[in-house]
A and B are shown apart, each in its own frame.
Chain A
Amino acid sequence: MSSVLYDTPGPKAKARNWVYSGVFVVVFGLALWWVLSIMADKNQLDADKWSPFVTDSQVWTTFLLPGLGETLKAGLIAMVIALPLGALLGIARLSDHAWIRVPVGAVVEFFRAIPVLMLMLFSYALYVQFSAVSSELRPLYAVVTGLVLYNAAVIAEIVRAGILTLPRGQTDAAKAIGMRKGQVMTYVLLPQAVTAMLPALVSQLVVILKDTAIGGALLGFGELLSMNRQISANYSNTIPTLIVIALIYIAVNFALTTFASWLERTLRGSKKGTGAVVGGDVAEVDAGGAAGVGKAP
C-alpha cells in the first residue's frame, strides 16, 4: 500500500509502522478497558441488560421498529414537502427580476441561519395556539414543519447549485434555438439539474433523518431515540439501548450515504450527461479535481 504522501515502506519503515500499530493498540485497548471496567462496575455489561435485544422480540416489535417507522415517516414526509418548495425557491432565486430574487434570497438565508431545533419549538407553539391539531399528532406536525422550513431553504440552495453547475453552453444553445426563459428552465436546465442534484438530495435525507431525533428528545415525538426511555424503563439498560439505537441509525444512514456516493461516482463517470454533479456537501470545494494528493488509500 503506497500513497503520494509517503514512500512505500521498506523493512525499516515497516518495523516502525508495526511499533506505531502496537502503541495504538495499547492506547486504544487501555481506553476500551477503562470504559468497559466502569461499565462492568455499574453492571452495564450484565447479560440480562443485553439479552432483551436478542431474546425478547417485543423490544423490537413494540418499541424499536415502530420508532424507526416514525423516524422514517417524519423524514420522508418532510422530504416530500420540502422538495417542491425548495425547487420553487431555488428557481425563484435565479430569477431575472430583482423583486423576486432578493426577497426569496432573504427568506432562504434566514431559514438557513436558524437552528432546526428552534424552528421545531416555534412550529410546536404555533400548532398549540393557532390550530386544532390533536395533541397526539402535534409532535409529528411540529417536527415535519420545522424540518420542511429548514430543508426547503437548504434544498433551494442545492437546486440553485445544481442549475449553476451546468455548462453555460446549455443555456446559450437553448436560447439560440429560440426557447423562452421558462422553456429553457423546464426543458433544458431542470431535467439535467435533477440528475446532478440527486447525490446531494440523498445526503440531505440523511440530515433530515438525523434531525428527527431532536423532536424525540424535546417534543415527545415517538421516534427511534425516544424509545430509549421506554426500553430502559423496563430493563434499566440505558447504555445497551442507546448503543442499539445508535447502530440502527448508523445502518440506515450508512446505507443512504453509500448510495449517495455511489450515485455521485456513477453520475460523474457517466458519458451521457454533462458530468455536472452537486456532491453530498454543497459547499465542498472541488478545486483540485482528480489529481489530489490524498487519493491513494
Chain B
Amino acid sequence: MFDFLNSGQYDVLGAFWVTVQLTLYSAVGSLVWGTVLAGMRVGPVPLMRGFATAYVNLVRNIPLTVLIIGCSLGLNQTLGITLGGSNFKEIGFRLAVLGFIAYTGTFVCEALRSGINTVPVGQAEAARALGLSFFQVLRLIVLPQAFRAVIAPLANVLIALTKNTTVAATIGVAEAALLMKEMIENEADALFAVFGVFALGFVVLTLPTGLLLGWVSKRVAVKR
C-alpha cells in the first residue's frame, strides 16, 4: 500500500523541505513587515497610521489565493517582475514568499497590536515621564513586553502560515500539496495512503510548533 514511497518516483521529503523553506522565509519576512505595520499603526504620524490601517484592512480581506495568483499572473507574467529569480522554480518560490509576507504581515500586525494593549498604561507613562521619544518608548519599553505577551497568538499565525504555504501549489511551486495532487492523480488506488502520508507530514510540522511555542509563551510571559 505504501510502496509509492519507495519507488523513487516521488520526493516527498524534498517537497516538505520546500514547504518548510517557504514557511521560514515568509515567517521572518512577515514578522518584520508586521512589526513595521504595527509601529506605524500606533505611531504619531497620522499619514502612516492611515496607511497601515488601510493596508491591514484591505489585504486581510483578500483571499490569499487571489494574492498569490496576482503575484504570479499579475506581477510576473504581465508586468515581467522576476524578483531576481532566473528560472521558473526560483521565480515562483520568491513570488509566493512575497505574497505570504504581504498577507501574513497583517495578522502579525494585529497580534502585536493586541499585545501592545496588554502592556499597562503606567509603563508607557513612566517611560514618557523619563523623556523617552516615541521610538524609544516602543523599542525599549512597550514592544519587548508586547512580544512576550503575543508568543501564543504569533504561534497560531505561524501554524496558519505553515498550512497556507500549500496555496503556493496554485502557481506551481513544488511544495507538499502540489506533490500530493500529482500523486493522487497517479496513484489513485492508494488514495488514503497518500493522503495519510501528507496529513501526517503537516501534523508533524504544526504540532511541535504549537507545543514548543506554547511552552515558550508560558515561560516568557510577563508576570503581572
Residues of A within 8 A of B (CB): 1, 3-7, 9, 13, 17, 20-21, 24-25, 28, 38-39, 42, 44, 109-110, 113-118, 121-122, 125-126, 128-129, 206, 209-214, 216-218, 225, 228, 238-239, 242, 245-246, 249-250, 253-254, 257, 281, 283-288, 291-295, 297
Contacts and interface: CB of A to CB of B under 8 A. Distances in A.
B174 interface: no
B4 interface: no
Nearest to A21: B47
Given A113-B203, A287-B118, A297-B42, A210 B64 contact: yes
Interface residues of B, number: 74
Residues of B contacting A: mostly = helix
Contacts of A250: 58, 61-62
B167 interface: yes
A118 B166 contact: yes
B18 interface: no
Nearest to A121: B181
Contacts of A115: 163-164, 166, 177, 202
Interface of B: 41-49, 51, 57-58, 60-66, 69-70, 73-74, 77-81, 110-111, 113-121, 123-125, 128, 133-134, 137-138, 142, 149-150, 152-153, 156, 159, 163-164, 166-167, 169-170, 177, 180-181, 184, 188, 191, 195, 198-199, 202-203, 206-207, 224
Q: Which of A115, A129, A285 has the most CB of B within 10 A?
A: A115
B119 A288 contact: yes
A51 B67 CA distance: 23
Nearest to B171: A217
Given A113-B207, A115-B164, A225-B69, A217 B170 contact: yes
Given A249-B61, A291-B120, A293-B119, A284 B114 contact: yes
